[in-house]
Structure 1
């Protein structure tokens, strides 16, 4: 099997994984995949419906299987993961074995701003919550997930992470 570069973006919901993933894939000429889209395609149901009908345990097993299958593809690509994907079933270890993990470390203030600008409707975990409740939920999520995110091979911090910055960090990564 050819050794192809697999860039896997991890981080909190609203950290910019999907947006940056598309930008970086475009600049590098790679394919872009979104783990949630791959799950929906395989299962034929939306993620909220999978959670509701089959439970979180089923979803997390499915997520791990789809992640592993994606990382076994014989091509270069960028993969945007769901915020919780690295935190279950040794997924972060699998990501690090088969790809280059990149943690998008964006401030909770920036994430909150993004989520309250129409993004909440797209994210079942935050629907129906007031701004203060979203803030508390984000703080709880980050405290539960940070140890997994910190295992990433590359960490980009700040509220204006760009494709150019990530490419620069990737070049540094490959030189070391």
Structure 2
């Protein structure tokens, strides 16, 4: 893959986007950005503060962050789990990047992730299953490539890196 093309990671909260993104950035010698961190920096408010106003308030901030991130070259971006809810986000990010869906089963997510610290998952474990069902089609439609996260982090990272090197 061209070194100037961004690598955009999408998927459910807790699927491994940030963990894989940071490790991949080290291996490939690229900069890593977590979209949620960019939102906080740009908006001057935490994610929970933005959600407290409304989900739309947060989603608007997410669009602004998508524009900022898409303007970069050759970086790895871990998007928020709901980035696919606004089609404009994916259109913006695809202009300068390839989108990789990190597909992790809801069972694995709830067994690993503290759902209490995730804004959209505070309703409990069943919310993870509902979100997966609501979003799975959107993730698949938005993705240029899909990586199933059902092995060790090292194995998934190796598969992702191999795929990127062969594009």
TM-score, length of structure 1 as denominator length: 0.85
Q: After superposition, what is the alpha-carbon deviation per residue over 1:54-96, rounded to whole angstroms, capped at 9, x for unaligned?
A: 31112111111111121112x3110001100122142223222
Runs of 4 or more consecutive aligned structure 1 residues displaced over 4 Å after TM superposition: none
Partners of 2:110 and 2:28 in 1: CA distance:
30
Could you tell which deviates more after superposition, 75-84 or 138-147?
A: 138-147
SS for the counterpart of 1:90 is: helix
Q: Distance in 2 between matches of 1:114 and 1:7?
A: 25
Which SS does the other structure have where 2:21 is aligned? helix
CA contact (8 A) 1:64 1:89 kept: no
Partners of 1:65 and 1:124 in 2: how far apart?
20
Residue 150 in structure 1 maps to residue 144 in structure 2: no
1:120 counterpart = 2:115: yes
Q: Is the partner of 1:30 in helix, strand or coil?
A: coil
- What's 2:75 paired with? 77
Counterpart mapping for 1:1-176 below 5 A: 4-52=4-52, 54-73=53-72, 75-115=73-113, 119-127=114-122, 129=123, 133-134=124-125, 136-151=126-141, 152-160=143-151, 162-172=156-166, 174=167
Q: How many residues align?
A: 162
Deviation, 1:44, is 1.2
- Larger CA Rg, structure 1 vs 2: 1
CA distance in structure 2 between the partners assigned to 1:4 and 1:21 by the alignment = 16
Contact 2:15/2:149 (8 A) holds in 1: no
- Supply the distance in 2 between the matched residues of 1:158 and 1:16 (Cα, whole angstroms): 8
Unaligned runs of 5+ in 1: none
Structure 2 CA distance for aligned equivalents of residues 125 and 17 of structure 1: 16
